[in-house]
């Protein structure tokens, strides 16, 4: 069992449900007019229920679409569907319902730290609302019918974003990946399948949902999360005991770079902010990790450009990022 708070290892929890409407072809075979009909049928009851607003991707600038993906409110797959892609987002951005992605509907709920149960509770309520208003494609043997066969069954993906610096630094993260794969779980990068880890952050989720209940999936993922968290805790203790001076120096140098640099690119920013997160988790720096997570989102290229209110080239963006960090970080210490 881990000795410290699970939030030192888990950034966020996500439940995603995939659904398709029975009377329409799957999105990859669906025409423009059917795509608009799906948008209307799904979004109208949703907007009332979640007190949110339908956002059509065709009405957004490319930089705004990219900002949504950086915030994990929409997927890269939905971002590519400019013509008929849409999303309904609630006020606090914990719920986003993507329409006409790989499936007609992708219900996504994101909660802070390890909170899969409450995330599922909200996702399930939205799922019920959609089922009350539309016939959903379902087979008694295969469960919910989806665009990808690995989503058959409950069509639920339970995923957790983890912060694993020590396991990465001591190069034992591959052991965790192998152990997870044996338990039918996948360890992926920050933005899911096909992406790389960034800033010591990884996404752990179930690979299959056929033959498993929602509760079984959640329990399986949670059990593995605690195993990984325990391994990370041991690795952090080892780092501190063997290399406390060097580790502290590395963290403080990262702090110095972030509050003094004239310009800083995304890669250097992520390398150093991740060390700051590690310092906060170990108590070397008195900063809340949740606040650092918000800064990470704010400093991603598209969100940074939107914050500036103007078009920025790469160098201008790196200068603006450094100015932003000089302003916000000292106030947190």
Asked if the structure places residue 252 within a domain, the reply is yes
Structure confidence at residue 289 as a pLDDT band (50, 70, 90):
confident
- Report pLDDT for 243: 87
The answer to whether residue 217 scores a pLDDT higher than 60 is yes
Residue 88: inside a domain? no
Give me the chain's average pLDDT, please: 92
Under the banding of pLDDT at 50, 70 and 90, the label for residue 112 is: very high
Cα–Cα distance for residue pair 42/116, rounded to 1 Å: 24
Is residue 247 assigned to a domain?
yes
Does residue 54 fall inside a structural domain?
no
Q: What is the pLDDT of residue 82?
A: 95
Tally of residues, the chain: 333
Q: How confident is the model at residue 4 (pLDDT cuts 50, 70, 90)?
A: confident
- With respect to residue 97, please indicate whether it lies within any of the assigned structural domains: no
Residue 213 has pLDDT above 90, yes or no: yes
pLDDT in tens, 59-110: 999 999 999 999 999 999 999 999 999 999 999 999 999 999 999 999 999 9
Give the model confidence (pLDDT) of 162-204 as tens digits.
Answer: 999 999 888 888 887 777 776 668 887 665 554 456 778 999 9
142 is a domain residue: no
Q: What is the pTM of this model?
A: 0.91
- Overall domain count for the chain: 1
For residues 266-272, give the mean pLDDT.
Answer: 94
pLDDT of the residue at 197: 61
Domain residues for 310? 232-332
What is the per-residue pLDDT for 190? 60
Does 248 map to a domain? yes
pLDDT value at position 175? 82
Taking only the tens place, the pLDDT of each residue in 138-149 is 999 999 999 999
**Domain presence at residue 129:** no
By CB atoms closer than 10 A (0-12, 13-18, 19+), residue 91 is: exposed
């Amino acid at each position: 069992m881990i000795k410290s708070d699970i939030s030192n290892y888990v950034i966020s929890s996500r439940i995603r449900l995939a659904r398709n409407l029975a009377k329409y072809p799957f999105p990859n075979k669906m025409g423009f007019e059917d795509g608009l009909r799906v948008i209307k049928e799904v979004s109208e009851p949703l907007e009332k229920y979640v007190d949110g607003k339908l956002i059509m991707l065709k009405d957004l600038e490319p930089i705004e679409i990219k900002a949504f993906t950086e915030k994990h409110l929409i997927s890269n797959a939905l971002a590519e569907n400019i013509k008929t892609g849409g999303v309904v987002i609630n006020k606090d951005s914990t719920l986003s319902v993507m329409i006409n992605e790989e499936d007609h509907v992708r219900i996504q709920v994101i909660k802070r730290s390890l909170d899969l149960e409450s995330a599922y509770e909200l996702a399930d309520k939205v799922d019920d609302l959609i089922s009350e208003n539309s016939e959903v494609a379902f087979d008694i043997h295969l469960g919910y019918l989806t665009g990808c066969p690995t989503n058959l069954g409950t069509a639920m993906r339970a995923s957790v974003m983890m912060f694993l610096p020590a396991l990465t630094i001591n190069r034992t993260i591959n052991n965790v990946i192998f152990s997870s794969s044996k338990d039918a779980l996948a360890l992926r990068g920050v933005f899911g399948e096909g992406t790389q880890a960034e800033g010591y952050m990884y996404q752990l989720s179930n690979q299959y949902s056929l033959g498993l209940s929602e509760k079984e999936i959640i329990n399986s993922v949670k059990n593995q999360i605690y195993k990984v968290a325990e391994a990370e805790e041991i690795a952090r203790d080892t780092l501190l005991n063997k290399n406390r001076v060097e580790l502290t120096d590395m963290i403080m140098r990262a702090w110095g770079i972030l509050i003094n640099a004239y310009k800083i690119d995304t890669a250097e920013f992520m390398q150093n902010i991740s060390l700051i997160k590690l310092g906060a988790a170990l108590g070397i720096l008195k900063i809340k990790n949740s606040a650092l997570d918000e800064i990470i989102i704010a400093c991603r290229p598209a969100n940074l450009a939107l914050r500036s209110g103007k078009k920025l080239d790469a160098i201008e963006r790196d200068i603006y990022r450094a100015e932003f960090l000089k302003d916000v970080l000292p106030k947190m210490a």
